[in-house]
Amino acid sequence: MSSFTLFAPLQLIAWTQLNCTGDFGVTQFTDSVLARNISNAYISRSLQLNRSLTQQEQLDISVTSNFNSWYSNKDQLYYNSASCSNFWQTYYAVNGTTACYNTPPFTCHRLWNNPGLPMILSK
């Protein structure tokens, strides 16, 4: 599988409150946004995927270092986005399921194929 090809379509919903409640932003991952840092309009506190991560897929979440200015930087599809300054967490096939995950407040997410990971099939 190419590092730049999505295994299968994947939707991420990022919620403003814990336990996947509150307002939400939806990201449809496609090949064109694979491996790119993406933000929606919210500071998110939980997330849910519509399928488990599989093979070498890796989802990273990170947060801005400035909650006052990140908002002005809404198009995050370029290098070193201001919304993605501090790395928080990674999810892999072993722990990226369709469960709702509570997270530290995040403003940026990225899905990519990490060639360094073992080819684990999702549970």
Ligand X SMILES: *[C@@H]1O[C@H](CO)[C@@H](O)[C@H](O)[C@H]1NC(C)=O
- State which of residues 92, 106, 111, 113 lies at the interface with ligand X (CB under 6 A): 92
Q: By CB under 6 A, is residue 32 in contact with ligand X? A: no
DSSP, collapsed to helix, strand or coil, labels residue 57 as strand
CA 99 to CA 118: how far, in whole Å?
A: 22
- Counting runs of H as helices and runs of E as strands, what totals does the chain give? 0, 7
Contacting residue, 14, 34, 47, 84, with ligand X by CB under 6 A: 84
The answer to whether 110 contacts ligand X (rule: CB under 6 A) is yes
Residue of the chain from 28, 65, 69, 102 that contacts ligand X (CB under 6 A)? 28
DSSP E strand stretches across the chain: 10-17, 21-29, 44-49, 57-63, 86-91, 100-106, 108-113
CB atoms within 10 A of CB 44: 26
State the nearest-atom distance from the C-beta of 67 to ligand X, in Å.
16
Q: Least Å distance between CB 26 and ligand X?
A: 8
9 binds ligand X (CB under 6 A): yes
Under the rule (CB under 6 A), what is the footprint of ligand X?
9-11, 28, 36-37, 50-51, 62, 79-81, 84, 87, 89-92, 94-95, 110
